[in-house]
Amino acid sequence: MDKVIIAENLSLSYKEFETIISKATFSIDSGDFVFITGASGSGKSTLLKSFYGAIEPRQGNLSVGGVKMNRISTSKLNFLRRHIGIIFQDYKLIKEWTIEKNVMLPLIISGYTGDVSGAQVQKLLGHVKLTHQAGKYPPELSGGEQQRVAMARALAHNPILILADEPTGNLDDYSSSVIWSLLEGANTQLKTTVIVVTHHIPEGLKVPYKHYHIEFGNINEIS
Amino acid sequence: MKSLKNHISLIIALFTVLASVQIYVAVDRTIAAYESHLKNDYSVIVVANKAFTPQEFTAMSSMIERSEPISTEQVLERLKGEMSEKNLALLKLTLPKFYRIYLNRFPTPNEINNLQKKLQKNTAIERVEGFSQTHDTVYKLMLLFKDVVQVFSIAIAAVTSLLILKEMRLWQFQHAERMNIMALFGAPVWLRSAVLFRLAIVDAIIATLILCFAFFIIDYYGVLTLPLKEIGINVQLFNFVNDALRSLAISLGISIALTFTIVMFHSEEE
């Protein structure tokens, strides 16, 4: 099975003497559903950031989708990010754009034409039950609805990898269940690799998953 | 409303830079027209003990455009009653020849001195009067005025450019969130900053249009051209094709360069 992420002796830190992840070696297979847990400040979000190139490895090697993340060039990083879908706890939607245009963002960046992207956006808005909100702006939606928009955006360009940072942290039960079922659907039907950083693994998941726990800078595989 | 305020701030700043450049150009044109006006009025007087042809004078210096003899008849006419015909005829024979020499441009004080020396090398020329004292004062005043306008324009352009840079920094902060989100999905720099460039280009065009309109009004109502005409200076303060194109180029150049600078210095949020 292809490896989507390979980390060898990976160390991450923001400052030179403040190591957050220390000499971690692990790999994530293509099509895996992975949870990364840990206490607040343990470094789980930092690890996720390293997967999309927002932080560079201090030591060791990291490869994502076959792309080496050490001293990665801007053009290579942009290319990689066009194949990744990211979901944040604070949604990160563009406030001045309509919901429809927000979902369309990865397709605009990838250069899809209006017809193709329009049809794809309508389909995804249907999946997240927000077709009727397409013309509205993010501040007009509830937190749960905004996260569903972010979910639709993360799936719009059929990414090989979805990274989710506390995707249901602030959500109501209904929105949480929509998010989890979409993540499960992407993993089972599209074989997309899903990596979720969370405090709690939800109960009743239908997909098999791997669980990594971060403690004192070390990453341990639990199941 | 906030965005409109930002637009207006940038447009006013760009307009100020363009206006200062245009004022400098207009002053330069006025001074050139005034120099030409002075050139027509200015002449050097030559006193010689033999007759010279116009060709002989033009051969002496490339600055000499033409020459004309100054008639002595009027002076002799006045003396007719006081002197005998014989003495008058004798005086007419011994009287030197006077010439007025016109130049092809308004000379600098050095050029006048050099011309005087050149002419005086000819032994038949007894005296050359360049009226250098009067010439010097006018010329120096003109240069002083030109320098003051130039310094003033440069100072305005420099201060306003700093204001534009600050304004664009504000834009950057306003658009930083959107640029960061686009970066997370792999948007190249040009796509992330397309909005900034679009705004900068639109504002540059608006500032140029306002400048053209303002100078059209000034020209149309003769606010400056009429007083200048009264002192004999005919000058076109705003040339619609050349000046509008130059202003557009300056305006676009400044706004695009500054946008490019802030885009390049934008660091992605971790």
Query: Where is pLDDT greater, at A223 or A128?
Result: A128
Q: Which residue of B has its CA nearest to A50?
A: B270
CA distance B225 to chain A (A): 49
Other Cβ atoms closer than 10 A to B123: 9
Model pLDDT for residues B165-219, shown as the tens digit of each residue: 888 778 778 788 888 999 999 999 888 888 888 888 999 999 999 999 998 888 8
Which is more confident, B155 or B141? B155
- At A103-162, the pLDDT tens digits run 999 999 988 877 777 888 999 999 888 999 999 999 999 999 999 999 999 999 999 999
| Rg of chain A (C-alpha set) | 17
The pLDDT value recorded for residue A223 is: 66
Task: Give residue B265's pLDDT band: very low, low, confident or very high (50, 70, 90).
Answer: confident
The CA-atom distances, in angstroms, between A161 and each of A4, A35, A177, A207 are 8, 13, 20, 16
Stronger pLDDT, A175 or B270, i.e. the higher one:
A175
CA distance B201 to A173: 47
Nearest 5°: phi and psi at B129? -115, 115
Band (pLDDT 50/70/90 cuts) for residue B158 is confident
**Cα torsion B112, B118, B121, B126: sign:** negative
* pLDDT band for position B86 (cuts 50, 70, 90): confident
On the question of pLDDT at B82 being above 60, the answer is yes
Work out the burial of residue A28: count CB atoms within 10 Å of its CB; fewer than 13 is exposed, 13-18 middle, 19 or more buried.
buried
> Chain B contact for A86, CB < 8 A?
yes
pLDDT of residue B84: 78
ipTM for the whole complex: 0.90
Comparing alpha-carbon positions, the chain A residue that sits nearest to B267 is A54
Residues in B touching A52 (Cβ below 8 Å):
184
The confidence band for A188, taking pLDDT boundaries of 50, 70 and 90, is very high
What does the pLDDT read at residue A172? 86
User: Which tens digit of pLDDT belongs to each residue from B208-247?
Assistant: 999 999 988 888 888 888 888 887 778 888 888 889 999 9
Residues with Cβ within 8 Å of A66's Cβ and at least 6 positions away in sequence, in order, are none
To the nearest whole Å, the CA of A106 is away from the closest chain B CA by 6
Summarised one tens digit per residue, pLDDT across range B88-102 is 777 777 788 889 998
Residues B100-138 pLDDT 10s: 998 888 788 788 888 888 888 888 888 888 776 666 677
B186 vs A49, A81, A94: nearest CB: A81
Q: When comparing pLDDT for A51 and B104, which is higher?
A: A51
Mean pLDDT of chain B: 84
Q: Please, what are the domains in chain B?
A: 2-37+137-264 (no CATH), 43-130 (3.30.70)
Element (H, E) at B13: helix B2-41
Residue type, B112: I
Q: How close does chain B come to A112, measured CA to CA in Å?
A: 13
